[in-house]
Structure 1
Amino acid sequence: MAHHNPWPDEGNTGHIWDEDIRELDNPPPLWWMLSFYAGFIMIVFYTLYYPTIPLTDELGGHTEGMAGWTQVNEYHEDYTVLKNWRVAKFADKEEKLASMSVTEIMADEELKSYAVATSKVLYGDYCAACHATGGAGNPNFPVLADDDWLWGGSVKQIEASLIQGRIGNMPAKGMMGNLTDQEIEDVTDYVIALSEGKGGDAAYAAGKAVYTKGMCLACHGPAGKPLAPAGAANLTDQVWRFSSDRDTVKNVIAYGVNVKKNGEYIKGTQKAVMPSFKERLPNADVNIKRLAVYVHSLGGGQ
């Protein structure tokens, strides 16, 4: 920085670098000053026109502004515009969903795609808490993306499950006293062996005898596979309603599913209840069909 000022009449500040680079002291342009002062005027305008000043409840809360504007009101106005646009744009498809059966919707590829596309948020709001994103199933809840269906996996059967809800039912073999502790141990090993394809091995003969004696075959079928979808699990695959852990399998056999005594669940019983969505879903007649098509599309529909 120079210690002398070769341009004393220039109006610079006296700060000079590299012999001729200096800092001038000129006033800002008029247009810039006018914009600067206009900014202060706009602050006053915004303060009066929009809700601005946060006050305590004792002082009446925040100032509401002369416009009466709020973000919530603007959101509702914009949402109404969007909703009306959607209603107008997709009215024909919504009418078809309302008038056609789920089997007819499945036969119409365009309408099926529309039902799937418009079900994702609905599924997330009402189904994903139990069945997880994409139907992967949260712990102790059914997986919807496999081919294991307790009540049937056709789109019509899925619709029926959504309308009626489902309540699992398996008697407690231990609590009822029709199986001894040793028999429960034996049939537990046999049930696990069935899932591994080893049900015919001589090592599990005792468990197979208990399976017949305990009337397990009445629901699960003579070979561990139900003859018809009526809520009973297929014991010959490796898909487990609760867990493949031996203690869990044994516990289900001993204490059953949804077993109650005097109106209360007994200790140890597994709870398996799916509510009816007929009264839960908005516009249920259409949205149940929409969800049935979506669930069927997740990969496990039959």
Structure 2
Amino acid sequence: MAKEPQIQDNDPETTGHEWDGIREFNNPLPRWWVWVFYLTIIWGIWYSVAYPAWPGIKEATAGYMGWSTRANVAEEIAAAEAANAGINEKLASVELAAIQGDDELQGYATSAGAAVFRTWCAQCHGSGAAGAKGYPNLQDDAWLWGGTMEEIHTTVTHGIRNEEDPDARYSQMPAFGELLEKEEIGQVVNYVMALSGQEPRNAEAATAGEQVFVDNCAACHGDDGTGDRTQGAPNLTDAIWLYGGDYDTLHDTVTYSRFGVMPPWNQRLSEAEIRAVTTYVHQLGGGE
């Protein structure tokens, strides 16, 4: 059994709580600590009145000091835009071909274009611009619509197959599942595999698929399958595939077609920003 503790004359009063012979002293907080605590309460009340704090139905209270992080960011952006106004004006007005001949302008456009790309383009094309299934790799030299500065600029400006811009690049592959027999689709898929250097699933079908290709596909992809940039028709001989080059994926592509869309960026970006990201994409390695 626990030994009963001895109470000393100089011990403070207790709270009345006791457990297993242990008494809880009622020691008051130091006076300085109490005053600091009161000051933090006063400071907290003042802060909630002076700065945005109390949530409302639509937004928080603004506070009588009118301070906000959003306004601060807007000021910093405005200051940066003012500092770059001169070079942005130059970038937006010179000939596209002249950008690469001006080291200062080229350096600025590449740096600014990288920021634009990471903000607006990386979601689809990847942070390194290597693309993904259904989204082109911008580092190689396989361009559906061309890889010159002018051609990239047009693509970025107006987009591809969108309804927002009447000048958008436009091409549409028919869904041949509605036009060809199933056997013919299998034949042309085997032929396209052979065109790209792959081993067709059925060599005999591949041979028969050549005529199906000539009758239905050559008008866009060319008799030799190398494509046509003026129509956005891909080269089928380079083994570079946007959606995949295996038999099943090609079969789906021929049967149902594909219809990827890229938005027009002239409605969201300035001309200087479009030219900057054009320069950035062009110098990635696949530009022409």
What's the CA shift string for 1:252-300, capped at 9, x where partnerless? 334xxxxxxxxxxxxx34223334333x2232x2222122112223332
Partner of 1:257: none
Partner of 1:205: 207
Return 5+ residue gaps in structure 1 as ranges: 14-24, 255-267
1:219 aligns with 2:207: no
- Over aligned residue pairs, what C-alpha RMSD do you find? 3.8
Partner of 2:169: 166
Mapping of residues 182-197 of structure 1, within 5 Å: 182-196=183-197
Distance 2:51 2:242 in 1: 57
Q: How far off its partner does 1:150 sit?
A: 0.8
Partner of 2:84: 90
Instruction: Give secondary structure in 2 for the equivalent of 1:288.
Output: helix
Conservation of the 8 A alpha-carbon contact between 1:220 and 1:227: yes
Partner of 1:295: 281
With 142-151 and 161-170 compared, the bigger mean Cα shift is at 161-170
Instruction: Give secondary structure in 2 for the equivalent of 1:111.
Output: helix
1:270 aligns with 2:258: yes
Q: How far off its partner does 1:86 sit?
A: 1.0
The percent of aligned pairs where both chains have the same amino acid is 34
Partner of 1:252: 253
Partner of 2:47: 46
Conservation of the 8 A alpha-carbon contact between 2:170 and 2:231: no
Partner of 1:104: 98
Q: How far off its partner does 1:231 sit?
A: 0.9
What's the CA shift string for 1:62-111, capped at 9, x where partnerless? 99486254xxx522331233123212322232121111122211222332
What's the CA shift string for 1:18-39, capped at 9, x where partnerless? xxxxxxx999887666545544
Please report the TM-score for the alignment, with normalisation by the length of structure 2: 0.72
Q: How far off its partner does 1:190 sit?
A: 1.1
1:157 aligns with 2:151: yes
Q: How far off its partner does 1:149 sit?
A: 0.8
Count residues with an aligned counterpart.
264
1:77–1:245 Cα change, 3 Å: same
Conservation of the 8 A alpha-carbon contact between 2:113 and 2:278: no
Distance 1:252 1:131 in 2: 21
1:192–1:81 Cα change, 3 Å: same
With 230-239 and 180-189 compared, the bigger mean Cα shift is at 180-189
Conservation of the 8 A alpha-carbon contact between 2:106 and 2:279: yes
1:208–1:87 Cα change, 3 Å: same
1:141 aligns with 2:135: yes
Return 5+ residue gaps in structure 2 as ranges: 13-25, 159-167
1:193–1:83 Cα change, 3 Å: same
Distance 2:190 2:254 in 1: 11
Q: How far off its partner does 1:207 sit?
A: 2.4
Partner of 1:265: none
